[in-house]
Amino acid sequence: MSMETKKDPVEVLREEIMASPKLEEFFTDMVGMSLKQYMAGYVIDNTTDVEELVDELDLEDTRCCSECGSPMYEGYCIENGAEYYCSDECLHKHLTDEEYENLYDEGRGNSYWTSWVD
Protein backbone atom coordinates (compact mmCIF):
# COMPACT_ATOMS: atom_id res chain seq x y z
CA MET A 1 0.00 0.00 0.00
CA SER A 2 1.35 3.39 -1.01
CA MET A 3 1.89 6.10 1.59
CA GLU A 4 1.25 8.81 -0.99
CA THR A 5 0.14 12.14 0.46
CA LYS A 6 -3.26 13.10 -0.82
CA LYS A 7 -3.81 16.58 -2.16
CA ASP A 8 -6.41 18.81 -0.60
CA PRO A 9 -9.43 18.82 -2.96
CA VAL A 10 -9.88 22.57 -2.52
CA GLU A 11 -6.25 23.13 -3.57
CA VAL A 12 -6.80 20.97 -6.67
CA LEU A 13 -9.91 23.03 -7.46
CA ARG A 14 -7.99 26.31 -6.95
CA GLU A 15 -5.18 25.19 -9.28
CA GLU A 16 -7.64 24.11 -11.97
CA ILE A 17 -9.64 27.33 -11.72
CA MET A 18 -6.47 29.44 -11.99
CA ALA A 19 -5.43 27.51 -15.10
CA SER A 20 -8.81 27.92 -16.80
CA PRO A 21 -8.84 30.30 -19.79
CA LYS A 22 -12.47 31.10 -18.92
CA LEU A 23 -11.77 32.38 -15.40
CA GLU A 24 -11.69 36.09 -16.23
CA GLU A 25 -14.96 35.96 -18.19
CA PHE A 26 -16.63 33.93 -15.41
CA PHE A 27 -15.40 36.40 -12.79
CA THR A 28 -16.68 39.39 -14.78
CA ASP A 29 -20.12 37.79 -15.11
CA MET A 30 -20.17 36.80 -11.44
CA VAL A 31 -19.00 40.10 -9.93
CA GLY A 32 -20.20 42.57 -12.56
CA MET A 33 -16.76 44.05 -13.20
CA SER A 34 -13.53 42.95 -14.78
CA LEU A 35 -10.76 41.42 -12.75
CA LYS A 36 -8.63 44.52 -13.31
CA GLN A 37 -11.44 46.80 -12.09
CA TYR A 38 -11.82 44.62 -9.00
CA MET A 39 -8.07 44.62 -8.37
CA ALA A 40 -7.85 48.39 -8.82
CA GLY A 41 -10.69 48.91 -6.34
CA TYR A 42 -9.03 46.59 -3.85
CA VAL A 43 -5.67 48.37 -4.18
CA ILE A 44 -7.27 51.81 -3.79
CA ASP A 45 -9.33 50.71 -0.77
CA ASN A 46 -6.33 49.09 0.94
CA THR A 47 -3.58 51.63 0.24
CA THR A 48 -2.70 54.26 2.79
CA ASP A 49 0.20 55.79 0.84
CA VAL A 50 -0.99 57.16 -2.52
CA GLU A 51 2.48 58.45 -3.37
CA GLU A 52 3.93 54.94 -3.01
CA LEU A 53 1.10 53.54 -5.14
CA VAL A 54 1.75 56.10 -7.91
CA ASP A 55 5.50 55.36 -7.81
CA GLU A 56 5.26 51.56 -7.58
CA LEU A 57 2.79 51.28 -10.48
CA ASP A 58 4.58 53.90 -12.62
CA LEU A 59 1.35 55.83 -13.12
CA GLU A 60 1.68 58.54 -15.76
CA ASP A 61 -1.45 60.67 -15.29
CA THR A 62 -1.68 60.73 -11.50
CA ARG A 63 0.38 62.63 -8.98
CA CYS A 64 0.14 62.83 -5.21
CA CYS A 65 -0.37 66.17 -3.45
CA SER A 66 2.74 66.96 -1.39
CA GLU A 67 0.58 68.56 1.30
CA CYS A 68 -2.57 66.47 1.79
CA GLY A 69 -1.55 63.21 0.05
CA SER A 70 -4.62 63.14 -2.22
CA PRO A 71 -4.36 61.71 -5.71
CA MET A 72 -4.52 64.36 -8.42
CA TYR A 73 -4.58 64.52 -12.21
CA GLU A 74 -4.28 68.28 -12.37
CA GLY A 75 -2.74 70.87 -10.11
CA TYR A 76 0.40 72.80 -9.34
CA CYS A 77 3.76 71.37 -10.39
CA ILE A 78 6.56 73.11 -8.48
CA GLU A 79 10.13 73.15 -9.74
CA ASN A 80 9.60 70.45 -12.41
CA GLY A 81 7.96 68.01 -10.00
CA ALA A 82 9.89 68.55 -6.77
CA GLU A 83 6.46 69.17 -5.21
CA TYR A 84 2.83 68.91 -6.32
CA TYR A 85 -0.22 70.66 -4.87
CA CYS A 86 -3.84 69.84 -5.68
CA SER A 87 -5.36 73.19 -4.69
CA ASP A 88 -4.66 76.79 -3.80
CA GLU A 89 -5.21 75.83 -0.16
CA CYS A 90 -2.47 73.19 -0.23
CA LEU A 91 -0.11 75.39 -2.27
CA HIS A 92 -0.47 78.34 0.10
CA LYS A 93 0.54 76.27 3.10
CA HIS A 94 4.02 76.26 1.52
CA LEU A 95 4.21 79.24 -0.81
CA THR A 96 2.73 82.72 -0.81
CA ASP A 97 1.15 84.10 -4.00
CA GLU A 98 4.29 86.19 -4.53
CA GLU A 99 6.63 83.20 -4.09
CA TYR A 100 4.60 81.16 -6.57
CA GLU A 101 4.46 84.03 -9.08
CA ASN A 102 8.27 84.32 -8.87
CA LEU A 103 8.62 80.57 -9.57
CA TYR A 104 6.02 80.75 -12.37
CA ASP A 105 7.88 83.73 -13.91
CA GLU A 106 5.11 84.58 -16.40
CA GLY A 107 5.20 81.06 -17.84
CA ARG A 108 9.00 80.94 -18.21
CA GLY A 109 9.66 79.20 -14.87
CA ASN A 110 9.58 75.57 -13.84
CA SER A 111 6.45 75.93 -11.72
CA TYR A 112 2.96 75.97 -13.20
CA TRP A 113 -0.63 74.65 -13.08
CA THR A 114 -1.20 71.70 -15.40
CA SER A 115 -3.28 68.64 -16.19
CA TRP A 116 -1.62 65.27 -16.81
CA VAL A 117 -4.60 63.83 -18.68
CA ASP A 118 -5.65 64.65 -22.22
Q: What is the mean pLDDT of residues 84-112?
A: 96
pLDDT band at 5; cut points 50, 70, 90:
confident
Q: What is the mean pLDDT of residues 84-94?
A: 97
At residue 4, the pLDDT reads 76
- Let me know: does 61 contact 67? Beta carbons within 8 Å: no
At residue 1, the pLDDT reads 53
At residue 108, the pLDDT reads 93
Pairing of strands 74-78, 63-64: unpaired
Q: What percent of the chain has pLDDT over 70?
A: 97
Amino acid at site 99: E
Q: What is the CA radius of gyration of the chain?
A: 24
Longest dimension (CA), the chain: 86
At residue 3, the pLDDT reads 66
